[in-house]
Copies of this chain bind each other. A is one copy, B any other.
Amino acid sequence: MTHKIAILGASGYTGAELVRLIATHPLMEIVAMSADRKAGLEMGAVFPHLRHLKLPTLVKIEEIDFSGVDLVFCALPHATSQAVIKELPKTVKIVDLSADFRLRDPAEYEKWYGKPHAALDLQKEAVYGLTEFYRDEIKGARLVAGTGCNAATGQYALRPLIDAGVIDLDDILIDLKAAVSGAGRSLKENLLHAELSEGYHAYAVGGTHRHLGEFDQEFSKAAGKPVHVQFTPHLVPANRGILATVYVRGDAAAVYDALAKRYVDETFVEVLPMGEHPSTKHVRGSNFVHIGVVADRLPGRVIVIAALDNLSKGSSGQALQNANLMLGEEETAGLMLAPVFP
């Protein structure tokens, strides 16, 4: 049976990526797509790379009849997302790609996002969408909150280490390098080709990046006590990719074992042989995560490096993986596309 899918906010990069992935999904059919400012247009006019696909015309959300819809991907900006989801019929399953339902504590949400949450009940209900760590909850969930793309990358490197108790929780540092599509299709001077190409820099330095809210929440939960990591993201001149270089204290072999054991049965997480480490180029366009471990020359220090594609595994790929679970389908359906190289 084919599942009827709606995509809200289809005119952004994550919306387009969802369409790209669903295009080869055997059991999903896109029946409605919204894009407020571009309502009335065909998707092929907004994203010409999708022009070969038969897709519904873009409409405003209020024009969508949700009665025949099984699952909604909500790719709207945060704050907008909670307002829209509140009004959706309870019969519809929802994967939200915004930041609105990632943080369970209303105070934390307000701290990081600057205003009170307007849908506290839904916030309570939402399941955090890091598939490999919330699989069972996701299967039964009505509302799944997609994780931050940076937050996902750091967690793939660190969660098994916290769970296994093999690292010093007081001394975790994530130096992350992100490609530009994570900032979306927004008209900002610093995202222009002329400003970004051939240069790179840090941003949100000092612990101000909102994904730290997710790190705090998830690592503290995993550890059973407050854990606060140091986190500095950088913007590099590439379109897709996140590389998290994670510095921890512990025994390199124990760190490696914890990762290797944790992910041995995970289709999308590849732990490289000890001493090797990944490149974003090798996961681009795919749902795979590559993780490497290297012991530093300084005793007791270990470097864990994780790479993924922010639009796929870090966002739309993860969303589809969760949707598959929520709909009772094979978790990997539509997601086995190999990375595009070069």
Contact = CB atoms under 8 A, between A and B. Distances in A.
B180 A193 contact: yes
Interface string A173-209: 1010100110001011101111111111110011110
A337 interface: yes
A24 interface: yes
A113 interface: no
B240 A234 contact: no
Contact of A202 (B201, B241, B277): B277
B24 A280 contact: no
Contact of A296 (B189, B194, B206, B305): B206
Given A195-B281, A197-B238, 10 more contacts: A16-B341, A24-B338, A47-B341, A175-B247, A181-B194, A198-B281, A198-B342, A199-B280, A202-B277, A205-B294
A220 to B, nearest CB: 14
Nearest to A23: B338
Interface residues of A, number: 85
Nearest to A206: B294
Given A201-B281, A207-B298, A338-B50, A239 B185 contact: no
Contact of A305 (B48, B205, B243): B205
Given A205-B294, A277-B205, A237 B239 contact: no
Contacts of A295: 206
B239 A245 contact: no
Interface stretch (A60-68, A70-78, A149-157, A283-291): A283-291
B305 A241 contact: no
A53 B338 contact: yes
Contacts of A180: 192-194
A230 interface: yes
A90 B180 CA distance: 48
B194 A340 contact: no
A247 B175 CA distance: 10
Given A187-B188, A200-B281, A301-B230, A245 B307 contact: no
A99 to B, nearest CB: 18
By Cβ-Cβ distance, the 7 closest A-B pairs, closest first, are A199-B281, A207-B297, A201-B279, A49-B339, A194-B342, A49-B282, A187-B187
Contact of A200 (B53, B177, B189, B247): B177
A49 B205 contact: no
26 contacts: A20-B339, A24-B338, A48-B290, A51-B272, A51-B290, A52-B270, A52-B338, A175-B247, A177-B236, A180-B194, A181-B194, A185-B195, A191-B192, A193-B195, A199-B238, A199-B241, A200-B279, A200-B280, A201-B277, A202-B277, A202-B305, A205-B294, A206-B297, A230-B296, A232-B245, A239-B342
